Amino acid sequence: MAHIIQIKAFSDNRGELRVIEKELPFEVKRVYYIHGKPDVVRGGHRHKHTDQLLICIHGSCIVSSNNGKGTEDFLLDSPSTALYVDRHDWHTMHHFTEGAVLLVLASTPYDINDYIDEAYPEH
């Protein structure tokens, strides 16, 4: 089930440093980022094997996640807020603000056969 993870920030007169270490429940095998557009929906899939951590490092977006029992929306609007998305969670990313950048850390390398494009039935 998708859930929020807070990322600790270390601040001083030089700025802020955010570190992800023990909060991550998997070893990172792939990193990518999405420059979202306001009127576009991204994602629309779930995975067989890949867990992900999503962080909107600039701007904001909404991630909708459905684990087969219901849908929950998560607003990602701070680089201190990360969303863990379980491999079985159907997810979409939408309502990107202009210039938003969504960073994704994934537990597996890219594999087209890992994607499940069929959504859970609505209850």
**Band of the pLDDT at 80, cuts 50, 70, 90?**
very high
Tell me, yes or no, if the pTM score tops 0.85.
yes
> In terms of pLDDT, which residue wins out, 36 or 50?
50
Q: Write down the mean pLDDT value for the chain.
A: 95
Q: Looking at 3, 35, 45, 88, which residue is catalytic?
A: 45
pLDDT of residue 123: 61
> Which residues, other chains included, contact 18 with Cβ-Cβ below 8 Å and sequence gap of 6+?
7, 8, 9, 10, 79, 80
pLDDT at 120: 87
End-to-end CA distance of the chain: 17
Delineate the domains of the chain, giving CATH numbers in brackets: 3-8+23-110 (2.60.120.10)
Q: Catalytic annotation on 3?
A: no
Q: What pLDDT, on the 0 to 100 scale, is given for residue 70?
A: 93
pLDDT of residue 119: 87
Instruction: State both tokens at 86.
Output: 């379980």
Instruction: Give the separation between CA 122 and CA 113, rounded to whole angstroms.
Output: 24
CB within 8 A of 35, min separation 6: which ones? 99, 100, 101
